[in-house]
Amino acid sequence: MKKVGELKKHIYLCDSHERHLINELEALNVRKKVNLITKKQYKKQLTTLLRGRSVDDWLNYYNDYKSTCYKMIGEHNTDRSIRTVFFVLFLLVLLAPFGLQYTGYSVSDQKMVYVDKIVSSNAYLLIDGVAQSIPFDPEFYNGQYVYKINYLQIPNSAKKIEIMDNNQIIFVKEIK
């Protein structure tokens, strides 16, 4: 399997080729529109640019290639995660005879909160209606913004989390 860095480079190059194709097509269309080239020259240059394929064929090719690279990156990350889990389990089994005790569960310190609106840098977090200084940073994930909120900083007695932006509540989460 190719290394993740190589795959990312392939994705970058594929994006670059795709942008180049689109820019050249637009430039060619403009030259034809303003009569800098004849129809015959346009067809010849278009044929040379597309090399026997249609525009859709090239765009599908680039998208399929990038999807394959992203899939291979995901598989690499999954393989690495599985190896990490087996390594940790191996260590736990190895250290068990030396009196190591473990509880069998873990606690995540962050909870992902999905918000379907873009939040400005002026946004802030409210817990039970009181403004907080707990940091929450947006990330773009699967087509929407994701906010990771550190739940260890939220009191156990909290009943409601809200995100306020431009004097409007844009997100409410009831805690049970």
Domain residues of the chain, as ranges? 4-98, 110-174
pLDDT of residue 105: 47
> Taking the CA of residue 152 as centre, how many other CA atoms within 13 Å lie in the half-sphere pointing to its CB?
4
Pairing of strands 144-150, 160-165: unpaired
User: Is residue 148 exposed (0-12), middle (13-18) or buried (19+ Cβ within 10 Å)?
Assistant: middle
pLDDT of residue 140: 61
pLDDT of residue 162: 80
**pTM greater than 0.75:** no
pLDDT of residue 107: 46
pLDDT of residue 50: 92
Residues with Cβ within 8 Å of 117's Cβ and at least 6 positions away in sequence, in order, are 145, 165, 170, 171
User: Is residue 35 exposed (0-12), middle (13-18) or buried (19+ Cβ within 10 Å)?
Assistant: exposed
pLDDT of residue 42: 93
Residue 115 near residue 145, CB atoms below 8 Å: yes
pLDDT of residue 138: 62
Q: What is the DSSP letter of 30?
A: H
Residue 149 near residue 113, CB atoms below 8 Å: yes
Nearest partner of 173 among 126, 107, 122, 118, judged by Cα: 126
pLDDT of residue 47: 92
Q: How confident is the chain (176 residues) per 10-residue block, as mean pLDDT?
A: 80 89 91 91 92 91 88 75 73 62 48 58 72 64 62 73 76 73
First to last CA, the chain: 45
